Amino acid sequence: MNALILLTILGVVMMFSGVVLKRNAAIRTLAVTGLLLAIIANVMDTYGIHFFNINIRGMMNFDRFALLFITIILSCTFIFFLLSAKDMEKVGINFADYFALIFFILCGIILTSSFSSLLILFLGIEIISIPLYILTGSDKRNLKSNEASLKYFLLGAFSTGLMLMGITMFYGYTGTFSVENLVIVEGMPSALLIAGIILLMFSMSFKVSAAPFHFWTPDVYDGAPTVFTSFMATIVKAAGFIAFIRLFYLSFDSLGDSWKLLIAIITALTLFIGNITAVFQQSVKRMLAYSSIAQAGFMMMAVLALNGPAMEGILLYIIAYNLSTIGLFAILIKMKDYTFEGFNGFAKRQPALARAAVIFLLSLAGIPLTAGFLGKFYMLKAVVQQGGYLWLVIMAVVMAAVSVYYYFRVIQAMYFKEGEAQSLEVSLFFKWTISIVAFLVILLGVYPQIIFKWYYF
Residues 388-417 that bind other proteins (CB under 8 A): 390, 393-394, 397-398, 400-401, 404-405, 408, 412, 415-417
Would you count residue 448 as binding other proteins (CB under 8 A)? yes
Q: Under a CB-based contact definition with an 8 Å cutoff, are residues 171 and 194 in contact? A: no
Give the nearer residue to other proteins in terms of CB position, either 52 or 432. 432
In this chain, which of 237, 246, 260, 381 binds other proteins, going by CB under 8 A? 381
Would you count residue 369 as binding other proteins (CB under 8 A)? yes
In this chain, which of 163, 281, 312, 346 binds other proteins, going by CB under 8 A? 312
Which residues, including other chains, have CB under 8 Å from residue 105's CB and lie 6 or more apart? 127, 128, 131, 132, 231, 235, 236
Stretch that binds other proteins, among 71-79, 123-131, 145-153, 442-450 (CB under 8 A): 442-450
Would you count residue 311 as binding other proteins (CB under 8 A)? no
One-letter amino acid identity for 147? E
Give the nearer residue to other proteins in terms of CB position, either 7 or 444. 444
Minimum CB separation from other proteins for residue 441, in Å? 14
Residues 208 and 392: their CA atoms lie apart, in Å, by 19
Q: Under a CB-based contact definition with an 8 Å cutoff, are residues 243 and 174 in contact? A: no
Give the nearer residue to other proteins in terms of CB position, either 136 or 363. 363
Would you count residue 309 as binding other proteins (CB under 8 A)? yes
Q: Which of 151, 171, 174, 173 is nearest to 163 (CA)?
A: 171
Residues 228 and 162: their CA atoms lie apart, in Å, by 26
In this chain, which of 261, 368, 420, 423 binds other proteins, going by CB under 8 A? 368
In this chain, which of 106, 204, 367, 437 binds other proteins, going by CB under 8 A? 367
Would you count residue 377 as binding other proteins (CB under 8 A)? yes
DSSP 457: -
Minimum CB separation from other proteins for residue 387, in Å? 9
Q: How many residues bind other proteins (CB under 8 A)?
A: 31
Which residues, including other chains, have CB under 8 Å from residue 254's CB and lie 6 or more apart? 184
DSSP 350: -
Residues 163 and 115: their CA atoms lie apart, in Å, by 15
Give the nearer residue to other proteins in terms of CB position, either 51 or 391. 391
Residues 374 and 317: their CA atoms lie apart, in Å, by 8
Would you count residue 130 as binding other proteins (CB under 8 A)? no
Report the 10 Å Cβ neighbour count for 112.
Answer: 28
Give the nearer residue to other proteins in terms of CB position, either 5 or 404. 404
Minimum CB separation from other proteins for residue 321, in Å? 18
Q: Under a CB-based contact definition with an 8 Å cutoff, are residues 77 and 39 in contact? A: no
Report the 10 Å Cβ neighbour count for 53.
Answer: 6
Q: Give the residues across from 283 on adjacent strands.
A: 339
Give the nearer residue to other proteins in terms of CB position, either 42 or 370. 370
Q: CB-hemisphere CA count at 13 Å for 435?
A: 12
Would you count residue 276 as binding other proteins (CB under 8 A)? no
Interface residues with other proteins (CB under 8 A) are: 308-309, 312, 362, 367-369, 377-378, 380-381, 384-385, 390, 393-394, 397-398, 400-401, 404-405, 408, 412, 415-417, 447-449, 452
